[in-house]
Chain A
Amino acid sequence: MTKPSASATQVKAHELEGHRSSLFKYAMLQLRDEAQAEDAVQETMLAAMQGAGSFSGNSSIRTWLTGILKHKILDQIRKSSRERTSDVAYDENSSDGFDALFDERGAHAEKPAEWGNPEAALSQKKFFEVLERCMEGLPKNTARVFAMREVMGLDTDEICKETGISATNCGVLLYRARTALRLCLDERWFGANR
């Protein structure tokens, strides 16, 4: 039996702590609940310390930790999805002004604006701060489904299974999330100097 030496584990623990805030941010994005996010991160840290020897070094520590965290977040989502059916209905039925985007014939009420070269934004710290503010503005379940899709990279079948939302409703929530984020970024970033 070989065990990692005490000193190796300590180095690992110190390294892990440096990632705590970004793991928390990641968990908050999907869980929208500080206590649940804290729990998921804490469990991730514990699992990481116990499994420190299993870190292969082939991926970055962040990637490894995020992989563990994904499972902890899904556990939390499963745990709470049993109590959440009414929330989902609320997200779907909330009148969010999207209908005003189109006229009665289904055409754009106002032509969507050009974003120029949006790739340039991806190298700017400030842009991601704005993107995060925009995500915080999404209704809880809309944000959760969107994050499961775009951050965790789950496909819609997996999202349906984990959340108990039907494929159609999942499509509606993803569309709403994308539309709301598009409008938010247009207002706060790309159109800010228009």
Chain B
Amino acid sequence: MSLLMLTCKEASRLSSEALDRKLGVREWLALRMHLALCKGCTRVSTQFQFLRRAMSQWLDSPVDKDVADRG
């Protein structure tokens, strides 16, 4: 991949990778630059991060609380 000009496909993939490993400086910069100019990829990145918050709350989600209350 050309780190100066990421495609949306590459930027989406890197947004996911960023949640799993520390990106290299060049990768990180390339992603920041792309996100600054691309609304679609910013949404993808934000939605990936939201998924993480949702999953971390899933175990204590209202569904589970109801089950525990009944139990």
Contacts and interface: CB of A to CB of B under 8 A. Distances in A.
B52 interface: yes
Contact of A108 (B40, B50, B58, B66): B40
Contact of A62 (B10, B20, B54, B68): B68
Contact of B44 (A17, A22, A182): A182
B10 A18 contact: no
Contacts of A102: 7-9
Contact of B51 (A19, A114, A182): A182
Counting chain A residues whose Cβ lies within 8 A of the other chain, the interface size class is 35 or more
Contact of A150 (B7, B56, B61, B71): B56
Given A115-B47, A174-B20, A179-B12, A150 B40 contact: no
Interface of A: 17-22, 25-26, 62, 66, 101-102, 105-108, 111-115, 118-119, 121-125, 127-129, 131-132, 149-151, 155-156, 170-171, 174-175, 178-179, 181-182, 185-186
Interface of B: 7-10, 12-13, 16-17, 19-21, 39-41, 43-44, 46-48, 50-64, 66-68, 70-71
